[in-house]
Amino acid sequence: MELPSLEIRVLFTMKRVKRKRHTPKAVAANVPNKLDFFKKRPQKDYIDTSLFFGVTLPYMMDLAVALPHLFTCPLRLLTKQSVATVELTKRQAACLLVHAFLCTFSDASDSFNHFQFFELFAPPTPPSWTADDTDLTMVQKLVTVLHYFDRVAADNAAPGAAAYNQQRVTYSRYLLNATTRDGNPSSEAWASVQVYTDGAIENHAGALQVDFANKYAGGGVLGHGCVQEEIRFVINPECIVACVLTEVLG
């Protein structure tokens, strides 16, 4: 199976913007919903719009049109009943996330989670900064992902950017055998575990982090969901790439 196809028209539009030297107006005109949520932010700014339009968004455009050079062959997908691993550089992962942000991927199959920000970024009614918890959740997801893009743009402008871009992100799928040889459920005891009533999972460096997952990788991270899995994916946006790589579990 191959990565869902890109809409060539959108890529052509982004290339045309690139030739216009990334003026903020030209870039904003090609982003879904014209970034309406920027116009509705509260008095306390969550986003540095000068930084975003002047530095981050132009970098995102460059990264988007670099996709053919970063991916010279189809990506392997993590399909059902398979044990497989996909390894990407941080730059490749960021490139895929930029395209998800720009909604240039089509939904190839119901077997995979959707991989576009359309529901967050351009819903029928744009998210409000002062509306109910659902709207605020969607806005905060956007703010968090935009912060990720700010960081990626800054890291690529800093000394040592080449080494940073070669760091790897690994996505793996395992097939667990929960039955005995005769097909009956296994009665083998679990290993000992320790349970703590305080502290945060992020405080335990080097620990394996496990969440009770949705059958689709990422669950509702690019929608209205905001529980354990969605929070983990938003905190580490590179996890969102698993949405396009991983076929439905089970």
Q: Tens of pLDDT along 142-179?
A: 888 989 999 999 998 888 888 888 899 999 998 876 55
Q: Which helix or strand (DSSP H or E) is residue 87 part of?
A: strand 84-89
SS3 42: coil
pLDDT of residue 10: 33
pLDDT of residue 51: 86
Whether 181 shows a pLDDT value over 70: the answer reads no
pLDDT of residue 110: 82
Comparing 243 with 132, the larger pLDDT belongs to 243
pLDDT of residue 202: 75
Whether 247 shows a pLDDT value over 70: the answer reads yes
Q: Tens of pLDDT along 215-229?
A: 999 998 888 888 888
Q: Tens of pLDDT along 88-118?
A: 999 999 999 999 888 887 766 788 888 877 7
What does the alpha-carbon distance between residue 90 and residue 237 come to, in Å, rounded to a whole number?
A: 11
Q: Which residues contact 81 (CB under 8 A, 6 or more apart)?
A: 175
Q: Which of 135, 230, 238, 247 is catalytic?
A: 230
Of 223, 14, 13, 214, which Cα lies nearest the Cα of 107? 223
* 229 has catalytic annotation: yes
Q: Is 207 exposed, middle or buried (0-12, 13-18, 19+ CB in 10 A)?
A: exposed
Q: What is the pTM of this model?
A: 0.74
Q: Which of 62, 182, 229, 238 is catalytic?
A: 229
pLDDT of residue 95: 95
* 182 has catalytic annotation: no
For 190-204, the DSSP string reads PPP----SSS-GGGS
SS3 161: helix
The residues that bridge with 179 in the sheet, in sequence order, are 185
What does the alpha-carbon distance between residue 37 and residue 41 come to, in Å, rounded to a whole number?
A: 7
What does the alpha-carbon distance between residue 116 and residue 108 come to, in Å, rounded to a whole number?
A: 12
SS3 112: strand
Structure tokens at 240: 């969102």
Buried b (16+ CB within 10 A) or exposed e, 23-54: eeeebeeebbeebebbeeeeeeebbeeeebbe
Q: Are 2 and 101 in contact (CB under 8 A)?
A: no
What does the alpha-carbon distance between residue 32 and residue 36 come to, in Å, rounded to a whole number?
A: 9
Q: What are phi and psi of 207, to 5 degrees?
A: -80, 150
Q: Tens of pLDDT along 6-47?
A: 333 333 333 333 333 333 343 344 444 445 555 555 444 556
* 188 has catalytic annotation: no
Q: Are 244 and 96 in contact (CB under 8 A)?
A: yes
pLDDT of residue 49: 78
Q: What are phi and psi of 169, to 5 degrees?
A: -120, 125
Write out the E strands in 13-53: none
Q: Which of 7, 62, 119, 211 is catalytic?
A: 211
